[in-house]
């Protein structure tokens, strides 16, 4: 099984009156088809780590390799293309467009990647059906429950069939039953040999991952516990 992500001595610091070392020389490998839980207390660097893996933020030092390619050698256009086709991120606050219907929110991700509108609309209908929202296509985010909104966000993230899905506390504001539904969607993606890294405080969901990555004092260690 080949790597989807490899980091070598990845570090991130911020300067706020003094230098804050958020992540320190992180070296990990994530293989294709792995489902990985990212754990750590609030402020430990989980979101920062995910943003760097998503190529949305630059590390202070170290390297990120995506499918063996050194991402520090990519320009902004190449990184945008990578995110559009191979990497997607799901936030706890789903970032849906309030003036767009469920169908439009999902289709726009495919249109933005260069597909024509008719093709994108048909693909959006199919994936929304898969996440159980075929009767909510024309509803706006304000008409949906929090769980339904998150399913729309996941459908949007998955429509371009990315190789890597990064989820930042995707079930943090959901009840236990809806959280399980969201996790079952991740299992479907895993069965398609996609990799998923999800930050969570939910112990039950973390225990269902292939393994855990725990951030402690800026370091990440792998755990099966």
Q: Which helix (H) or strand (E) element contains residue 117?
A: helix 117-130
Quick one: pLDDT at residue 84?
82
Answer for the pair 29, 199: CB distance below 8 angstroms, yes or no. no
Predicted structure pTM score: 0.89
Provide the CA 144 distance to its chain's centre, in angstroms. 22
Q: Which helix (H) or strand (E) element contains residue 89?
A: strand 87-91
> Does the pLDDT value for residue 91 go beyond 90?
no
Dist. CA 187–CA 191, nearest whole Å = 6
Report how many helices (DSSP H) and strands (DSSP E) the chain contains, helices first.
7, 10
Nearest to 32 by CA among 162, 161, 206, 164: 164
Binned at pLDDT 50, 70 and 90, residue 113 comes out as confident
3-class DSSP state for residue 139? coil
> Does the pLDDT value for residue 18 go beyond 80?
no
């Amino acid at each position: 099984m080949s790597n989807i992500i490899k980091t070598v001595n990845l570090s991130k610091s911020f300067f706020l009156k003094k230098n804050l070392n958020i992540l320190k020389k992180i070296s990990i490998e994530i293989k294709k088809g792995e489902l990985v839980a990212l754990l750590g207390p609030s402020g430990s660097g989980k979101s920062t780590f995910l943003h760097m893996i998503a190529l949305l933020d630059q590390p202070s030092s170290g390297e990120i390799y995506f499918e063996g390619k050194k991402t520090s050698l990519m320009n902004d256009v190449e990184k945008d293309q990578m995110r559009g086709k191979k990497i997607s991120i799901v936030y706890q606050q789903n970032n849906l467009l309030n003036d767009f219907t469920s169908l439009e929110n999902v289709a726009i991700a495919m249109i933005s990647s260069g597909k024509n509108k008719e093709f994108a609309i048909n693909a959006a209908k199919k994936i929304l059906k898969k996440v159980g929202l075929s009767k909510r296509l024309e509803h706006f985010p304000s008409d949906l429950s929090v769980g339904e909104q998150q399913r729309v966000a996941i459908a949007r993230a998955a429509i371009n069939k990315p190789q890597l899905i990064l989820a930042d506390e995707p079930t943090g504001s959901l009840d236990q039953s809806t959280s399980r539904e969201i996790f079952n969607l991740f299992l479907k993606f895993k069965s398609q040999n996609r990799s998923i890294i999800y930050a969570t405080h939910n112990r039950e969901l973390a225990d269902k991952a292939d393994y855990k990555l725990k951030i402690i004092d800026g370091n990440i260690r792998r755990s099966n516990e």
